[in-house]
Amino acid sequence: MKSILPPIDTIEKTDTFEKYEILKSNISLFENAAKEIISQNNFPEEHLILFSEGTNIVFAHGQNQVIKLYPPFHQKQFENELAVIEFLQNKLSIRTPLLKAHGEMNQWPYMIMSQLHGTLLETLWDKMEYDNKIIIMKELGELIREVHSLPINKLKNINCQWNNFIEKQILQCEEHHRSRKLSEQLIKQIPEYLKPIINSISHIEKPVLLTGEYTPMNILVEKKSDTWHISGLFDFGDCMLGLAEYDLLGPGAFLIQGDKNLLKEFLIAYGYSLNELTSTLSHKLTALMLLHQCSNLNIQIRIPDWKNKISNLKELEDLVWGMKEDSSIEKYR
């Protein structure tokens, strides 16, 4: 294939990202690359529209296809997404992208896939009727349970390294949140807060496929009979195998926003019983929220004025999740 895209040095990571961000502004460069990819894969020429959001370069190709380009330092992300897209094809009750072609241009991996149609949940959630939010949260719980029920022994090229991942996240947790400008008061509490829960989140008997992308930015909905329903899911570059609760964080932070009724509906639909909605689960979810590889509480906790409502991590736990074993049944009836 003709080398249109320039190589990016991957030795100095910081410098690499800076080079890439500068390069992304050269839209014509990537348009030409996309056109070359289309030609080499024998697809007809159609109008290209660049999606403005996201880390990778993504074009809509006509009405029904997407071309996704990954910089060389996202090779593993490409491999993960490729494996998961192939694995999920025709396995779920909602739509996921269908793979049409993949390859590499001068060390830049690329993928051509079907374009999902629908409305991003992110654009609707704040103004959506509350009863419809309950429906969405139930459907989301069922969808995550559906994905977690798939036999991962048939998933190629993704190894379970959960224990190593958690160990790494624990070691860099305080510095990570310091770089995200979390208050020093909360950062100092992290080691003691994590200590009693580390064993239960590090060692797992049954890993599941984690997409890490059950956020309103990656979920499509469609309106049927005046009600919105989940219709599609996309973007699997951050997939891995690990602890099931890790996938509950996106819905909890971005959608539930401290609403205990939405939380209950979501978790029950996922498969929890009322007796399992306990402070232990709240603690585990908060710990995972702190350890998430993309954790940035200042952005991800969408509870108005939340910083002024808490003074410690236990209060944060109660605000976001707030489940209590002594009152879980009565509280959520």
**Could you tell me the residue ranges of all domains in the chain?**
13-114, 119-331
**First CA to last CA across the chain, in angstroms?**
61
Would you tell me which CATH number, out of the four given (3.30.200.20, 3.20.20.70, 2.170.130.10, 3.40.50.2300), belongs to the domain 13-114? Answer: 3.30.200.20
Portion of the chain with pLDDT greater than 90, in percent? 82
Are 240 and 212 spatial neighbours (Cβ–Cβ below 8 Å)? yes
- Per the model's pLDDT, the better-predicted residue between 73 and 324 turns out to be 73
Residue 203 has pLDDT above 80, yes or no: yes
Q: What is the pLDDT of residue 1?
A: 45
Q: Which of 70, 58, 66 is nearest to 20 (CA)?
A: 70
User: Is there a common fold for 13-114 and 119-331?
Assistant: no
SS3 137: helix
Q: What is the pLDDT of residue 16?
A: 78
pLDDT band at 34 (very low <50, low <70, confident <90, very high): very high
pLDDT band at 240 (very low <50, low <70, confident <90, very high): very high
Q: What is the pLDDT of residue 333?
A: 40
Average pLDDT, the chain: 92
Portion of the chain with pLDDT greater than 70, in percent? 94
Q: What mean pLDDT is predicted for residues 145-171? A: 92
Residue 48 has pLDDT above 90, yes or no: yes
What's the token pair of residue 2?
A: 């003709």
Are 210 and 247 spatial neighbours (Cβ–Cβ below 8 Å)? yes
∠ CA 237-239-243 to the nearest 5 degrees? Answer: 160
- Per the model's pLDDT, the better-predicted residue between 3 and 302 turns out to be 302
Are 333 and 264 spatial neighbours (Cβ–Cβ below 8 Å)? no
- The architecture (CATH level 2) of 119-331 comes to Alpha-Beta Complex (3.90)
- Please list the residues that pair with 113 across neighbouring strands: 66, 99
